Structure 1
């Protein structure tokens, strides 16, 4: 039995992460030739090309793209295993890369990251904020916060809390267009939809007696940021379905009113999502435990 060429797999993962043989070599503190030979060796062993190389561009082949996740996992698990073998009393140090949705990240996660950085001065945190659907393995993230119904996948998801949703509109809109009393009434109204929901114009509700109902709404504006709906909501353009952390202040001030009180949108889960491996550096575990304790709230 021939053992896998773990060094070549790790160097392949580094090239994918840095998108450059030169930058990967610098990160690994080896020569560019060493990295190139390792990748070539792996390609010969697998009998497939992993990269398309030109003088100006380095791109993964289809085979390389499929194998990149395996390579990233090998590199991450090797690094985590080495760190786990070190003295657990050693001071935590090194980088942690974590993702979060844009608005929730700004309001809830960024303050926690600041506090964590103060408590662990040798840990460097790279916080990536985006409402787009991202591949945490491809991006090299150690974890990400997701607010969603999690589909089955190879990722590990820990549900931290529920995020309550509200259907809201401005008093001006309700005075002009009327107040819906049942989700089916939404078909006669203009709605503002969140582009990253799948599909954006299908809203699900839970009602009296554990009833459930799904309705398709007419999207007047579709946008990939919930916070970006607020100006249109305040101007009375339509009705939106948004989470607590976006609309709580506007509801408290009276700028927006909650409607369909008896038919609430199903809450979404606040999840802490990590790659499939249980192995992770101690600094990553420390940050994840810190976020879990605070529930991001």
Structure 2
């Protein structure tokens, strides 16, 4: 006999308090339920049920076995449900937290293609540079740029972006060009106000040493596009990801401040709550992003 069927028959007898109700619950005959339970007891070599004319109850061994058997049956049911869910068409509301600069500049322009490909999915996108709590705040996933601080989340790397210090030719003509990292202390710097490190840049020197540059800066703002606009206007030097400055650099609107420095890179990740099952709508969105950004980064934007 099938082991799971034996387990199910036994657990149902315990749940229902007798063979008759268990048979009704399972949709089989009372004798079939009895055979399944007897076969289980014979295989285990232990009596699992106390049987009287009035009631049926689990023995001490039976109660311990019931706890484990019920867990196995629940897992088996969830496994069946998972397969069914993964074969259904992606649908429902997809709540996504997205890093603001990435969302505005790269995700928004292609979001229409995703919605046309999956008409049964509704996207609710929240742009935020703060790390939200996915589960407690009701998000299905997030797209984050930089180091992954929360090791409990499942992360899928989409691509990478370079990160460089850039400024307008007009700025360098007026204030000069920094030749080394220490020279930045004498320049006007443009900062992200949302960085946890404050107005401090971490830069790799040609020797490979990690250096820190701290300056009050001339402008502090919580939006990368605004920092790029300020740099283009000649207001100072900004430290930005390549997906923001790449087009401006191609047009000659900005230049790299210290070209000899090693290229800094940051990963761009799709992150999900912990667990082995990925909802079809989430899986569809991640696959879409991987396809769209397969040929992007670190400098190719």
**TM-score, length basis structure 2:** 0.66
Cα deviation, 1:56-84, whole Å, max 9, x if unaligned, reads: xxxxxxxxxxxxxxxxxxxxxxxx97852
Root-mean-square deviation (CA), in Å?
Answer: 2.4
1:264 Cα deviation (Å)?
Answer: 4.0
1:179 aligns with 2:173: no
Measured after TM superposition, the shift of residue 132 of structure 1 is 3.0
Map of 2:250 onto structure 1: 252
**Is this contact kept in 2: 1:167–1:264, CA < 8 A?**
no
2: CA distance, partners of 1:188 / 1:82: 65
In the alignment, what sits opposite 1:103? 101
Q: Distance in 2 between matches of 1:266 and 1:250?
A: 19
Higher gyration radius (CA): 2
**1:73 aligns to what?**
none
Query: For the Cα contact (< 8 Å) 1:145–1:270, is it kept in 2?
Result: yes
CA–CA distance in 1 between the matches of 2:109 and 2:229? 25
Structure 2 match to 1:268: 266
Distance in 2 (alpha carbons) for counterparts of 1:218 and 1:199: 12
How many aligned positions are there? 219
Deviation of 1:235 after TM superposition, in Å, equals: 2.7
Distance 1:294 1:235, change over 3 A: closer
Long gaps (5+) in structure 1: 1-79
Aligned counterpart, 1:36? none
SS of 1:208 mapped into structure 2: coil
Q: Deviations over 1:16-50 (max 9, x none)?
A: xxxxxxxxxxxxxxxxxxxxxxxxxxxxxxxxxxx
Residues 1:112 and 2:110 aligned together: yes
1:112-131 aligned at under 5 Å gives the runs 112-131=110-129
- Alignment partners' CA distance in 2, 1:241 and 1:88: 42
Which residue matches 2:157?
159
Which consecutive residues of structure 2, in runs of 5 or more, have no partner in the other structure? 1-77, 297-301
The list of structure 1 runs, each at least 4 consecutive aligned residues, that deviate by more than 4 angstroms after superposition, is: 80-83
Match of 1:217 in 2: 215
Q: Deviations over 1:194-219 (max 9, x none)?
A: 12222132212223343432222332
Aligned-partner SS, 2:185: helix
Alpha carbons of structure 1 residues 89 and 134: separation in structure 2 relative to 1, 3 Å:
closer
Deviations 1:226-245 (A, max 9, x none): 11113322332211101112
SS at match of 2:281: helix
Q: Structure 1 pair 287/102, CA: closer, same or farther in 2 (3 Å)?
A: same
